[in-house]
Amino acid sequence: MPIHPQIAKILATLPAPDGSPLDPAALRADEAARILPADKRLQLHAVVDATAVTSAGEVPVRIYTPTDAAEHSIIVYFHGGAFFLGSLDSHDHVARALASETGHKVISVGYRLAPEAPFPAGLEDCYAVVRWAESDGGMLGWDGRNLAIAGDSSGGNFVAAVAAKAHDDGFHHITHQILYYPSLDLDFDADRYPSLRENAEGYGLETAGLKPFNAFYLDGGAEPGDPLVSPIKRADLTGLPPALIVTAEFDPLRDEGELYGQRLDEAGVDTTVSRYSGANHGFVQNFSWIPEFHRVFAETSEFLNRSPRK
C-alpha cells in the first residue's frame, strides 16, 4: 500500500535536505518548540520528575503511574532522536500512551546526549536506570512481575544493547524488550539492506542522512562493528528476553529490524515482528494519533501480558 495519506500531506510540506552541517542546538530548539502543551496531554494518575541515583551517576527520569493501584509492572523507556535529539518532553506523549494502554508504570530516561556525551554515555545511563528500577522496586511500587524495556529508533538500539549487557552481566530481571523501528546497524552501507535503497528518499528519514545524524554518537571513538554500538552484530542472541519488534513499511531501517527479529527467533528467543503498512520511521512518536497506528500501544500491551511462546 502507499504511504498513509495523512503522513504524505505532512511530508510534502517538509523542506528538502540541503546538505548543510547539522546544528544540534538549532535542531533541539526546533524540537522543543513543537512539544505538546501540558493541557493537551493525556492525563494519568501521576506524572513525577525524579532523579535516579545510579552507578552511572544521577540520571533524570520521569515516572508515569497510570492508576492509583499500590503496585504496577514497569516499563523503562528510552526515547529516540539519533542519540543527539529527543528528551523527556519530546517523547512525553509516547510514555503517557504506553502507561495508559499497558497499565504499566513507565520510567522514561533522560540519558546523556551526543555530541556532548558520545558512546557509551547514553547506553550506560539507560542500563544503570534499569538496574536502579530493579533495586529500588519497592520504593517505585513495582509488583515484581514485568520489568520491560522499550525504545524507539536510537532508543531501540539502547534496548537491544541493554538486554545484551544485562544478559552478559547475569542480570536476568528484564522480562521483555520492545523495539520500535530500531536503529541496530550503525555501519551505514547503503547496499546492506534493500530498505535503505527502497526508502532512501521522501519518507522523512533519508538514507543519506543516517551517517551524519549518528556521527555525533560515534565520534567519541566508537566502532560500528562493536555489538554494543550495532546490536545486530552480536553473534550469540540466545537467552535474551522475549522481543516485540515494530517496523514501518516506508523506513530505511525496516530491514535491519526485521533481520534482527529473524535472528532472535532463530536463537530461540520468543519474538514477534510486526510491520505497520503505510507507516514511516518515527510513526509512534509523530503519527500515533492516526487510529491504525495508535494500535501499536494495544499490541505492546498484548505482548506484555500474554504467556511466552514455547
Active site members? 153, 251, 281
Upstream peptide bond of 115 is cis (omega within 30 degrees of 0):
yes
* Crossing angle for the helix pair 121-135 and 154-168, to the nearest 10 degrees: 60
Q: By the 8 A CB rule, do 286 and 210 touch? A: no
d(CA 192, CA 186): 11
Q: By the 8 A CB rule, do 295 and 303 touch? A: no
d(CA 210, CA 205): 8
Which residues does 16 contact at the CB level (< 8 Å), separation at least 6? none
How would you class 55 by CB atoms within 10 Å of its CB: exposed for 0-12, middle for 13-18, buried for 19 or more? exposed
- Say whether 100 sits in a helix, a strand or coil: helix
Helices (H) and strands (E) in the chain, counts: 11, 8
Which residues does 183 contact at the CB level (< 8 Å), separation at least 6? 82, 153, 154, 156, 157, 214, 253, 256
